[in-house]
Structure 1
Amino acid sequence: MKAGPFSPGPRKRPNFSLNDIQQANPFNKFSNVVDLSGKLNFEGKAVLHSEGVDFGAGRKYNVKMGDFDPLKEIGRGQFGVVRQVFHRPTKVVMAMKEIRLQLDELQLNQILMELNVLHQAHCPYIVDFYGAFFIESCVYYCMEYMECGSLDRMFSIGCPEPVLSRIAYSMVRGLKFLKDQFSIIHRDVKPTNVLVNIKGEVKLCDFGVSGKLNASLARTRVGCENYMAPERIKEGATDKGYTVQSDIWSLGISLIETATGKYPYPLSGQPAHSMFVIMKDIVDGPSPSVDPAQYSPDCCDFIAACLRKEPKDRPSYAELLEHPFLTKYQAEDVDMAGWAQKGFENIQS
């Protein structure tokens, strides 16, 4: 029978194999990570399951969804939500961060990095870690509940210079701890990643994009561009690498924003029409500063030192801790709890 114009014609053999189909399935690519038993396995470094997390060094955290009572949602991000929860076995109120798992190598690396930092970082300037578990394609981190939330929520009540000094001290101590203990650069220092509790304690959080320093350099371009140092934005930055000095720049920008209640770019005072305007200003424009009429010379000098354009000209963490802006207020009785209580009440109203 002769094939007509609408007949299917001779049947052709498909030009792909079963192996091609298996390789195209994203679950197969990550089958060594997410297994059929419902565990998330990070090459022996950590295993997440519905009953908690087991770390390769032998440390275990046994927490599970059934142990918690949900209280309220306290935050929402790109990949999930953060809730205030009550852990019945310990009678502790915690913050539970939910991450919707995507089969993406970058996200898996971020999960592992955050787990590694949180469970090893026993430091008063790093948020406490209570455990983690994995169910129904979601990773859950259980962390210290910081009543006032992130630093940006405190902008509306203002930030007296002594309080700003204590905030700077806590951030420097936390960043120095990450560098000294784990050779880690945070890479996403900004007010939303700094938490405050009702006692006025200030702690760093969110270590998913933190990077291991290789010969004192990091190379990937991750983090929030608004707070990136000039050397991280410039063309070829990932080839040349950058150091912890880039976190010091981000510290300086965060302190200006905390002091003034607003992000300092663009310096013209005009609304930015695109991220390009801000990035160009960061690279080519002068560094922002606080008003010397409102802040002491020590405060102005500390922030100016953090925001020197050349990373080699910025002070080290050890040098920052010896700066008069920090040492002066460490010797004074600063009412951090009163400031935090005022902020908490403002948030609740």
Structure 2
Amino acid sequence: MSNRGNNQSRNKFNLKIQAVPQLDPIPDKQTATDETDMAAVREKLADLQISPTEREQLEDFLKHKKELPVLSSSDLEQMSVLGSGNSGVVTKVKHTRTNIVMARKMIHLEVKPAIILQILRELKILHSCNSPYIVGFWGAFQAENEINICMEYMNGGSLDLIMRKSGRIHENVLARISLGVLKGLKYLRDEKAIIHRDVKPSNILVNTKGDIKLCDFGVSGQLINSMANSFVGTRSYMSPERLQGTKYNIVSDIWSYGLSLIEMAYGKYPIPPPSEEDMEELMSATGPVYPSSRASTNRGDSVDDNSPKTLAIFELLDYIVNEPPPTLPAKYFTETFIEFVNKCLVKDPKDRATLTFLMSHQFVTSDKVISLEDFISWITKHGIDNETN
């Protein structure tokens, strides 16, 4: 990257951090439906291309949700803190009246009550998002100026937390994760006409059943607008077309996932690219190389971590838009994995890989992909706890 001597030259392309860039028009399928009729639910699940085990687990979750009383803070007993950041705090809680363990995300917003009510209405779409690749939604409620979102508890945790504990993730594990992520994105697109808009390691969750699920996708425009100032880190996973404020579609999620793949393969955010010396250190490490840095959060801030290089936020965004995308070195990774990532990280969205192409790619279909049994063992070893969720 060329040397930029002052703030003006660092942002010479006048990049802007926008709240919600313009979307390509997509069919309006985001009407929340009544999912209380289990017969209707089963009929919908029958249309999904999922295994009998996945269907049974979904039906069990929905059965418990149907029996769940109206959610309130008084019924939720905190068990532990799972994570925190600019967007809020996530805790592991137990619903005392049913003993159901949940993950509760509490988001503090300084907005008018009418805006909070609109956010809660928009979040109702999550009730109809029933897929083995999407984190289950128990419900949402308001407590003072906080939005409380109660989701299925995933006892393996998010992939950024796993990286913080174990370091980089091997490509045969990433292959299995990739197929789950792609199926989740396909479900959101095909069944709900939703673009995720925030694909990154912290929004990919796993559990000791071997499930891989997406969370925190952008179903509420008001919530995104209200939290716009909290999403500096998320910008670092955005595609070039989003950073430039132009129209975007599902392939912007593909870019974000490609960047996330390199981060998980390195155990470190890949921009700017590591030097050969840094790369050797990353690949030889048996655990986190930079344990004091916060994986996948606030990338692009002028953070004081132990990594060799950091960029100010506008330098980073300028780099994503105008410099070549990162690539995996052939010295450490297979040709198949390198090609898969390269297809994700094409600057021009018209030439970027589609979901259909990636789901049939050898990287995710090869017999070298880690088996379900070995994947479960990996999660049990590296996940946030070893309880059965």
Q: TM-score, normalised by structure 2?
A: 0.65
Using the alignment, how far apart are the partners of 1:207 and 1:324 within structure 2? 27
User: In the superposition, relative to structure 1, how do residues 243 and 102 fare at CA in structure 2: closer, same or farther (>3 Å)?
Assistant: same
Tell whether 2:237 aligns with 1:231.
no
SS in 1 for 2:126: helix
2:215 to 200, 205, 211: 205
Quote the residue 1:152 is aligned against: 160
Maintained 8 Å contact 1:110/1:208: no
How do residues 252-331 of structure 1 correspond to structure 2 at under 5 angstroms? 252-267=258-273, 271-329=309-367
Using the alignment, how far apart are the partners of 1:63 and 1:107 within structure 2? 16
Tell whether 2:98 aligns with 1:90.
yes
AA at the equivalent of 2:247: G
Q: What's the offset of the Cα at 1:92?
A: 1.7
Using the alignment, how far apart are the partners of 1:126 and 1:159 within structure 2? 22
Q: What's the offset of the Cα at 1:203?
A: 1.0
Quote the residue 1:14 is aligned against: none
Q: What's the offset of the Cα at 1:330?
A: 8.3
Quote the residue 1:64 is aligned against: 72
Quote the residue 1:124 is aligned against: 132
Q: What's the offset of the Cα at 1:291?
A: 2.4
AA at the equivalent of 2:213: K
SS in 2 for 1:271: coil
Q: What's the offset of the Cα at 1:242?
A: 1.1
Q: What's the offset of the Cα at 1:100?
A: 2.4
Q: What percent identity do the matched residue pairs reach?
A: 40
AA at the equivalent of 1:68: L
SS in 1 for 2:103: strand
User: In the superposition, relative to structure 1, how do residues 311 and 208 fare at CA in structure 2: closer, same or farther (>3 Å)?
Assistant: closer
Of 70-79 and 120-129, the range deviating more from structure 2 = 70-79
AA at the equivalent of 2:261: L
Q: What's the offset of the Cα at 1:304?
A: 0.4
Using the alignment, how far apart are the partners of 1:228 and 1:287 within structure 2? 12
Using the alignment, how far apart are the partners of 1:178 and 1:258 within structure 2? 23
Quote the residue 1:341 is aligned against: 380
Query: Unpaired segments of 5 or more residues in structure 1?
Result: 1-44, 47-54, 213-219
User: In the superposition, relative to structure 1, how do residues 345 and 250 fare at CA in structure 2: closer, same or farther (>3 Å)?
Assistant: closer
Q: What's the offset of the Cα at 1:102?
A: 2.6
Using the alignment, how far apart are the partners of 1:74 and 1:210 within structure 2? 23
User: In the superposition, relative to structure 1, how do residues 67 and 283 fare at CA in structure 2: closer, same or farther (>3 Å)?
Assistant: same
Q: What's the offset of the Cα at 1:98?
A: 1.6
Q: What's the offset of the Cα at 1:245?
A: 0.9
Using the alignment, how far apart are the partners of 1:67 and 1:160 within structure 2? 40
Using the alignment, how far apart are the partners of 2:115 and 2:274 within structure 1? 36
The superposition leaves residues 217-270 of structure 1 with CA deviations (integer Å, 9 ceiling, x where unpaired) of xxx997811001111123xx2xx4111111100010001111110000013656
Using the alignment, how far apart are the partners of 2:35 and 2:184 within structure 1? 26
2:181 to 162, 165, 171: 171
Using the alignment, how far apart are the partners of 2:354 and 2:77 within structure 1? 44
- Higher RCO structure, 1 or 2 (CA under 8 Å, sep 6+): 2
SS in 2 for 1:257: helix
State which structure, 1 or 2, has the greater radius of gyration over its C-alpha atoms.
1
2:257 to 251, 258, 261: 251
Maintained 8 Å contact 1:187/1:211: no
Maintained 8 Å contact 1:187/1:209: no
Q: TM-score, normalised by structure 1?
A: 0.72
Of 325-334 and 241-250, the range deviating more from structure 2 = 325-334
Q: Number of aligned pairs?
A: 284
Q: What's the offset of the Cα at 1:167?
A: 1.0
Quote the residue 2:84 is aligned against: 76
How do residues 179-190 of structure 1 correspond to structure 2 at under 5 angstroms? 179-190=189-200
User: In the superposition, relative to structure 1, how do residues 329 and 169 fare at CA in structure 2: closer, same or farther (>3 Å)?
Assistant: farther
AA at the equivalent of 1:100: H
SS in 2 for 1:93: strand
Comparing both structures, which one devotes a greater share of its residues to strand? Answer: 1
Quote the residue 2:25 is aligned against: none
Q: What's the offset of the Cα at 1:294?
A: 2.2
Q: What's the offset of the Cα at 1:70?
A: 1.8
Q: C-alpha root-mean-square deviation of aligned residues, in Å?
A: 3.1
SS in 1 for 2:357: helix
Using the alignment, how far apart are the partners of 2:118 and 2:196 within structure 1? 14
How do residues 41-52 of structure 1 correspond to structure 2 at under 5 angstroms? none
User: In the superposition, relative to structure 1, how do residues 58 and 253 fare at CA in structure 2: closer, same or farther (>3 Å)?
Assistant: closer
AA at the equivalent of 1:252: G
AA at the equivalent of 1:279: L
SS in 1 for 2:248: coil
The superposition leaves residues 297-325 of structure 1 with CA deviations (integer Å, 9 ceiling, x where unpaired) of 11110000000111111121111101110
AA at the equivalent of 1:141: I
Q: What's the offset of the Cα at 1:347?
A: 10
SS in 1 for 2:320: helix
SS in 2 for 1:263: coil
Using the alignment, how far apart are the partners of 2:130 and 2:349 within structure 1? 29
Query: Unpaired segments of 5 or more residues in structure 2?
Result: 1-29, 37-65, 223-227, 276-307
